[in-house]
Amino acid sequence: MSDLQPLEKIFAGARLRRLRRERGMTQAEAATALGLSASYLNLLERNQRPVTARVLLSLADAFDVDVRAFAQESDKQLLADLREAASDPLLASMELDRIELNELSEAHPRVAEAFARLYQSYRETSAATADLASRMSGPGAAHGGPGAVLESVRDALDARHNHFPELEEAAEALIDQAGIRPRLCESALSRHLQERHGFAVRILDETIMAGARRRLDFHGRRLLLSEALAPGSRSFNMAVVLASLELGDTLDALCDSASLPSDEARKLYRIGLANYFAGAVHMPYAEMLKTAEATRYDVDRLQRRFEVSFEQVCHRLTTLQRPGARGLPFFMIRVDQAGNVSKRFGGGIMPFARSGGGCPKWNLYDALGQPERLLVQAFELPDGKRNLSIARGQVSAAPIGQRPVIHAIALGCDWAHAEKIVHADGLEGSRVQPVGIACRLCEREDCAQRAFPPLNRKLHMDLHQLRASPYSFGED
């Protein structure tokens, strides 16, 4: 417990309450598990008593909580969202500083989340009003626009730390029932679909599929897959279909618990859960964690071992958060050539910008111009937090007549875990790249790659001086 001594009194009522609710426990049930009285736990949750070393040890035993992480926990994505909102010209005159925002997120995380969501909806609505195409974008507009729908789903996944024990158990049950073995996944899933559900799998020409990659033909009892899909992707899609056929009640229950804002968000979340299940079928939890630790998280070897793509490995690594058998805490992001974020997980580890572009100094964007080459980087955020980033460009087939699709995917974690990752070997002592979340949220001066000034700083325009950065700015 020596690591906790400098922290002195720890008031973590909001974290305790959130942890209890995540476990689906009442205050009385949680108090019994921790060996406390319900009245004392109530005082702890209301920040009327500090969390003692004894309580922290009880948390570690009862809930498999990392004591140091719990004591020092902060939701980086939520803080980034609050900073972005507070820096908006509409609120800038309030002069909300970082200390106040941090106190809000710590003491009242649900209020802070509501504030951040309201600001995101405001931004989305403002953009939709200014842009006719966005304003008439169809489904989802009535609930804050498609962007707000997507963000609500991402937030719901982050709230569960992108880990779903129910889907892990279902995947393990299917593996046993269908007799799935390494390198025989496709044949086993195809047989299971035929024998259990009466669906025959057919691989068809792209022209016949008319741009579709997968189509479930209920009338003809066929699962139609495009020949453009790689073998690993074909079996992945079979598992996605099985999630819909066999896990309807489980998926419904998970969607119900997520408190999503619209039917569109619910459908998108359900698709994400089905994909999660498919990943768990292809990369069984225990075997994936064992292999990852044995290879020191060598993504190339994991790809070969489980016959999956770089993106699938990265996604799966973000989900290894089972109590008592946790992998390293990773974040993941995927962007296209225009910098649009189409996938991201781990906002509690690495804060992501909700709007605007990212930082061109991040090797994530270098990977777009060097497809299939693995790039490794140590980078530091403006707050001094250092991270490891493993990035690769990935080329995917597009419908006939269209250019191939290029995405860049980055897998990352706190630099404190770098020694456990083979790709970080040799980086110690090398230059650490200063990286920002986005220009509007980055306060570094003299950055030659800056595209916009920070939202919460005053511009200083000097006609007689030219610096590396196109913008000079003063204090808040």
Of 100, 97, 105, 99, the closest CA to residue 476 belongs to 97
* CA of residue 318 relative to chain centroid, distance: 7
Residues 124 and 184 in one domain: no
Give the separation between CA 401 and CA 178, rounded to whole angstroms.
Answer: 38
Residues 259 and 175 in one domain: yes
Residues 336 and 436 in one domain: yes
Contact 343, 396 (CB under 8 A): no
Give the separation between CA 141 and CA 145, rounded to whole angstroms.
Answer: 4
Give domain status of residue 229, yes or no. yes
Give domain status of residue 315, yes or no. no
Instruction: Sort strands 341-345 and 200-204 into parallel, antiparallel or unpaired.
Output: unpaired
Q: Is 181 left (phi over 0), alpha (psi -120 to 50) or beta?
A: beta
Question: Which residue type is seen at 358?
Answer: G
Give domain status of residue 313, yes or no. no
What's residue 126's pLDDT? 65
Q: What's 437's domain CATH number?
A: 3.30.450
- 467 Cβ contact partners less than 8 Å away, ≥ 6 residues apart: 446
Residue where a domain terminates, one of 251, 282, 313? 282
Beta bridge partners of 377: 389
For CA atoms 212, 218, 222, 223, the dihedral sign is positive
What's residue 238's pLDDT? 96
Q: Residue 6 pLDDT > 60, yes or no?
A: no
Instruction: Sort strands 222-226 and 200-204 into parallel, antiparallel or unpaired.
Output: parallel
Distances in Å between the alpha carbon of 11 and those of 21, 69, 96, 444?
A: 18, 14, 22, 32
Residues 67 and 92 in one domain: no
Average pLDDT over residues 274-289: 96
Residues 176 and 251 in one domain: yes
Give domain status of residue 82, yes or no. yes
Of 283, 272, 278, the closest CA to residue 237 belongs to 278
Residues 112 and 174 in one domain: no
- 407 Cβ contact partners less than 8 Å away, ≥ 6 residues apart: 311, 334, 335, 336, 342, 393, 394, 396
What's residue 136's pLDDT? 36
Residues 246 and 195 in one domain: yes
Mean pLDDT of the chain, nearest integer: 84
Residues 67 and 81 in one domain: no
Give the separation between CA 64 and CA 325, rounded to whole angstroms.
Answer: 9
pTM: 0.73
Q: What pLDDT, in 10s, does the model give residues 113-171?
A: 788 888 877 776 666 555 443 333 333 333 455 667 888 898 889 888 899 999 999 99
Q: Structurally, how many domains does the chain consist of?
A: 4
Residues 113 and 7 in one domain: no
Helix and strand counts by DSSP (H, E) for the chain: 21, 11
What's residue 179's pLDDT? 92
Q: Name the band, by pLDDT with cuts 50, 70 and 90, for residue 308.
A: very high
Give the separation between CA 166 and CA 54, rounded to whole angstroms.
Answer: 31
Give domain status of residue 136, yes or no. no
Q: What pLDDT, in 10s, does the model give residues 414-472?
A: 999 999 999 999 898 788 999 988 887 788 887 888 888 877 677 777 777 777 777 77
Average pLDDT over residues 394-414: 89
- 233 Cβ contact partners less than 8 Å away, ≥ 6 residues apart: 309
Share of the chain above pLDDT 90, in %: 45
Q: What's 32's domain CATH number?
A: 1.10.260.40
Residue where a domain terminates, one of 54, 71, 88? 71
Residues 84 and 64 in one domain: no
Contact 333, 349 (CB under 8 A): no
What's residue 144's pLDDT? 52
Q: What's 275's domain CATH number?
A: 1.10.10.2910
Q: Give the domain range for residue 86.
A: 76-130
Residues 95 and 50 in one domain: no
Average pLDDT over residues 215-236: 91
Q: Residue 80 pLDDT > 70, yes or no?
A: yes
Give domain status of residue 450, yes or no. no
Residues 171 and 121 in one domain: no
Give domain status of residue 302, yes or no. no
Beta bridge partners of 325: 322
Q: What pLDDT, in 10s, does the model give residues 9-20?
A: 677 777 788 788
Q: Residue 199 pLDDT > 90, yes or no?
A: yes
What's residue 138's pLDDT? 39
Average pLDDT over residues 358-374: 92
Higher pLDDT, 462 or 243: 243
Give domain status of residue 311, yes or no. no
Q: Residue 264 pLDDT > 60, yes or no?
A: yes
